Structure 1
Amino acid sequence: MHIVSIIFPLMFMVTLGYGLTRAGFFTQQHIAGISKFTFYVSIPAFLFINMLAAPLAQSIDPFALLAFYLPVVLVFAIGYHINRYCSPTAEQGRDASAVFALGSSYSNTVLVGLPIIIAALGEAMIGQVFMIITFHSATLFALTFILAARGQSQGFSWRRFTRSMLLNPVVMSIGLGILANALRLQLGQQLNEGLALLAKPALACALFVLGANLSFYRIGDHWRLALIASSLKIILLPALVYVMAHVVFGLASQNTAMLVLLSASPLGVNAYLIAAELKQHESTLGSTVVLSTLLSVLSFSLWLTLLI
């Protein structure tokens, strides 16, 4: 399949969202409403019905999980130590370093990675993609909050963190889909068709919202740190995942491609929200969201050429 035929429809939706919002046709309030529908209704329906239909026995692959998460944790550690020694003195604390590490390793798996993989590899890989996504936010957010808590007066609350993760619409919909799959639950034709109708706009809306959100961020004064974080995120991380998947574990070519494309996704907007919550590196991560998204077009093109 030609690379342009994979990338163009996705970039078209992102560009459309950016252009219409930048032109003022959609306001931030409008996008907030579309985002709420997308992330709390349409994407959960999409994830649930696909997880319900996925072959669980083929989806659970511990080597795939290791091939993805070992490089993720390694790049997180690299980002943490780079910030400790290379950032301005005022931003070298544990909390700031944890946020920078998150910005160097957190992938936009749902908005970008999933559409790219479906376009390039088809829906056969969805079950394994969901298994990766399920632990993604929990792993990196836990690392960030635990390390940040060491540099702040208040401690880390496992209860609050666990509750927020379990109530996350992505984690909840995948978890319920796995449970329903394991129980071989039959929803009935009417409910199946209703959920399928809700799920249809999920990926298009996600890409549109991504583009719209990019219009609200700018590449600010911390562009050098943003460039470092983007390089770790879309160059080093997928390269390490490729080595782990292909060389170390010898995974099948499609599995390797799936893991690399997920890891090559740009920084997710949720990382910026964590930075805003912790009040550390907000400008850096906002810039990294924009910069890594723009550069990911080149990264995806390269990996698609090599792997597909």
Structure 2
Amino acid sequence: MTIVSIIFPLIFMVALGYVLTRAGFFNREHIAGISKFTFYVSIPAFLFINMLAAPLAQSIDPFALLAFYLPVLLVFAIGYRINRHFSPVALQGRDASAVFALGASYSNTVLVGLPIITAALGEAMIGQVFMIITFHSATLFALTFILAARAQCQGFSWRRFARSMALNPVVMSIGLGILANALNLNLGEQLNDGLALLAKPALACALFVLGANLSFYRIGEHWRLALMASSLKIILLPALVYMMAHFVFQLAVQNTAMLVLLSASPLGVNAYLIATELKQHESTLGSTVVLSTLLSVLSFSLWLTLLL
């Protein structure tokens, strides 16, 4: 399979969402409806039925988790220190630094990473991808909120955070899929076919929504910081993951490719939502979402060429 045949269908769906929304054929309300269906119905169905069918014994690999998360935490720390020294004085606080660090290390695993890996490596790696995704948001969001709470002299509520993570549709659907898999649950042919039909548009809708959302963001005044965060996210992070997976843990080629492609994904929109909630680096992370998504086309092409 050529690089173009992997990348083009994904770019086509993102571009279609962007162009149709930019042209006014879809507005924010339309995209909000499609997004709600995608993230609360179709993607959970997709994650659940694939996790139900995944070989769990082969999916849980502690070395793969370490090869992914050690570089993620390192890049988070690097982003934190960079912000403390190079951002404008008003944005050098611990809370702003935590948000910038999130922008330099948080991957768009579901919207971009999963479709790329499925197209390049097939569905055999989905079980391991889901194991990474399960802890991804929880780890980075908790770290960001803890640092921000310390800076703002506010207490961090583990109960509130755990509840929000447990009710997250991605985490919930994967968790239920793991439970059903462990119990060897048989859904029956009719229900299984219904969920499979519901799951079919998941990845296409996710890419379409990504493109549509890009039309709402702009590369703002803090484009230099956004470029710095994008470079950490799509250049340094996948390089560190590759070195960790290939040289340190000596993982199989397929596993290494999966981890690198997942880490090479652009910044996820959820990181921008965290920035708006904490009122820090909103412009920077909004710009980083756009910039890292555009640059990820080159990054993915490079890594696909090297790894496949």
Please, what TM-score do these two structures have when normalized by structure 2? 1.00
Counterpart of 2:2?
2
Counterpart of 2:270?
270
Counterpart of 1:212?
212
- Cα distance in structure 2, aligned partners of 1:112 and 1:257: 15
For residues 98-152 of structure 1, what are the alpha-carbon distances to aligned partners after superposition, in whole Å with 9 as ceiling and x for unaligned?
A: 0000000000000000000000000000000000000000000000000000111
The one-letter code sitting in structure 1 at the alignment partner of 2:53 is A
* Mapping 1:83-162, distance limit 5 Å: 83-162=83-162
The one-letter code sitting in structure 1 at the alignment partner of 2:81 is H
* Offset at residue 154 of structure 1 (A): 1.9
Counterpart secondary structure, 2:155 = coil
Counterpart secondary structure, 1:171 = helix
For residues 61-105 of structure 1, what are the alpha-carbon distances to aligned partners after superposition, in whole Å with 9 as ceiling and x for unaligned?
A: 000000000000000000000001110110000000000000000
Counterpart of 1:75?
75
RMSD over aligned CA atoms reads 0.4
- Cα distance in structure 2, aligned partners of 1:231 and 1:216: 22
- Cα distance in structure 1, aligned partners of 2:227 and 2:160: 33
For residues 245-279 of structure 1, what are the alpha-carbon distances to aligned partners after superposition, in whole Å with 9 as ceiling and x for unaligned?
A: 00000000000000000000000000000000000
Counterpart of 1:172?
172
Counterpart secondary structure, 1:266 = coil
Of residues 146-155 and 166-175 in structure 1, the stretch that sits farther from structure 2 once superposed is 146-155
Identity %: 90
* Offset at residue 155 of structure 1 (A): 1.2
Please, what TM-score do these two structures have when normalized by structure 1? 1.00
* Offset at residue 153 of structure 1 (A): 3.0
Counterpart of 1:39?
39
| Deviating 4+ runs (over 2 angstroms) | none
- Cα distance in structure 1, aligned partners of 2:151 and 2:132: 30
Q: Are residue 242 (structure 1) and residue 242 (structure 2) matched?
A: yes
Counterpart secondary structure, 2:17 = helix
* Mapping 1:43-58, distance limit 5 Å: 43-58=43-58
- Cα distance in structure 2, aligned partners of 1:287 and 1:31: 20
The one-letter code sitting in structure 2 at the alignment partner of 1:248 is V
- Cα distance in structure 2, aligned partners of 1:298 and 1:278: 31
Counterpart secondary structure, 1:184 = coil
- Cα distance in structure 1, aligned partners of 2:90 and 2:296: 30
- Cα distance in structure 1, aligned partners of 2:69 and 2:298: 23
Q: Are residue 181 (structure 1) and residue 186 (structure 2) matched?
A: no
| Structure 2 gap segments, 5+ residues each | none
- Cα distance in structure 2, aligned partners of 1:304 and 1:155: 44
- Cα distance in structure 2, aligned partners of 1:29 and 1:95: 32
- Cα distance in structure 1, aligned partners of 2:190 and 2:218: 45
Counterpart of 2:283?
283
- Cα distance in structure 2, aligned partners of 1:30 and 1:203: 18
Counterpart secondary structure, 1:120 = helix
- Cα distance in structure 1, aligned partners of 2:34 and 2:24: 15
Of residues 192-201 and 151-160 in structure 1, the stretch that sits farther from structure 2 once superposed is 151-160
- The number of equivalent residue pairs is 308
- Cα distance in structure 2, aligned partners of 1:100 and 1:206: 25
- Cα distance in structure 1, aligned partners of 2:87 and 2:120: 38
Counterpart secondary structure, 1:217 = coil
- Cα distance in structure 2, aligned partners of 1:34 and 1:153: 38
Counterpart of 2:201?
201
Counterpart secondary structure, 2:266 = coil
- Cα distance in structure 1, aligned partners of 2:253 and 2:96: 38
The one-letter code sitting in structure 1 at the alignment partner of 2:150 is R
